[in-house]
């Protein structure tokens, strides 16, 4: 079994259009701007042929049970007046539904000045038993399909979906590309 997500480009930009992420188009090695963690069998890499265009895409792919992988970057934000945009392909599969689940996501975590997560928006593909749910602090946006799609929103508008988050406390945003499986 394999589940994965792929990403062409991720941007987080201020009102003046200035980008806040380093290497959000993955044209430089993943060690530029990004950190990564993977527990168990899986792959975090970049390649030009995950999509037909000539540019690079990044991938996090997880192959077996009880594993997660994460490619992430944290930025200090000057304001929540930000525009978030990704072009991503999200997939999650399990071989057997009972007792097994998988989820793949691009997560935007809202954090305080010490990096503590206050809540998140998660654009995701998930199998039926995946425990990711909407709460006052977490908002899920289901992937439209398993094709390349663009997802974008204004952060200040999106925060209306997260009534549990104290907006004035948000000082940082962590963008992560995250896949997780359980007993697959
Ligand atoms: Ca490409």
Buried b or exposed e, range 170-179, using 16+ CB within 10 angstroms: bbbbbbbbbb
In the block, which residue shows the tokens 């929103």? 153
Sheet holding 149-154, edge to edge: 42-47, 57-62, 3-14, 82-91, 149-154
- Total domain count, the chain: 1
Q: Count Cβ atoms within 10 A of the Cβ of residue 73 and give its class: 0-12 exposed, 13-18 middle, 19 or more buried.
A: buried
CA distance 177 to 59: 8
As a whole number, the mean pLDDT across the chain is: 89
| 59 CA → ligand 1 middle, Å | 12
* pLDDT (mean) for 18-32: 92
pLDDT band at 123 (very low <50, low <70, confident <90, very high): very high
| 9 CA → ligand 1 middle, Å | 10
CA distance 157 to 161: 8
| 13 CA → ligand 1 middle, Å | 23
Reduced to 3 states (helix: H, G, I; strand: E, B; else coil), residue 167 is: helix
Domain of residue 94, residue span: 3-182
Percent of the chain with pLDDT over 90: 59
| pLDDT at 18 exceeding the cut of 90 | no
| 129 CA → ligand 1 middle, Å | 32
Task: Give the pLDDT of residue 92.
Answer: 86
CA distance 81 to 182: 36
pLDDT band at 179 (very low <50, low <70, confident <90, very high): confident
| pLDDT at 184 exceeding the cut of 60 | no
Q: Bigger pLDDT: 35 or 181?
A: 35
| 29 CA → ligand 1 middle, Å | 14
Task: Quick: pLDDT tens for 133-159.
Answer: 999 999 999 999 988 999 999 999 999
| pLDDT at 1 exceeding the cut of 60 | no
| pLDDT at 176 exceeding the cut of 60 | yes
CA distance 84 to 42: 27
CATH code where residue 113 lies:
2.60.120
Which residues, chain by chain, have CB under 5 Å from ion ligand 1?
A: 48, 51, 53, 55
Task: Quick: pLDDT tens for 64-97.
Answer: 766 889 999 999 998 999 999 999 999 888 877 7
| 58 CA → ligand 1 middle, Å | 9
| 10 CA → ligand 1 middle, Å | 14
């Amino acid at each position: 079994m394999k589940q994965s997500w792929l990403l062409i480009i991720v941007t987080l930009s201020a009102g003046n259009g200035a980008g806040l992420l380093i290497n959000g188009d993955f044209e430089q090695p993943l060690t530029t701007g990004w950190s990564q963690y993977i527990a168990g069998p899986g792959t975090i890499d970049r390649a030009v042929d995950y999509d037909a265009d000539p540019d690079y895409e990044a991938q996090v792919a997880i192959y077996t049970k009880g594993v997660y992988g994460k490619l992430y970057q944290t930025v200090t934000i000057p304001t929540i007046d930000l525009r978030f945009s990704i072009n991503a392909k999200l997939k999650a599969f399990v071989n057997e539904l009972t007792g097994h689940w998988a989820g793949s996501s691009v997560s935007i975590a809202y954090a305080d000045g010490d990096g503590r997560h206050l809540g998140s928006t998660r654009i995701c593909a998930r199998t039926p038993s995946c425990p990711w749910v909407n709460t006052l602090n977490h908002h899920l946006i289901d992937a439209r399909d398993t094709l390349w799609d663009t997802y974008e929103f204004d952060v200040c508008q999106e925060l209306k979906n997260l009534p549990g988050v104290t907006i004035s406390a948000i000082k940082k945003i962590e963008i992560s590309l995250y896949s997780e499986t359980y007993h697959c």
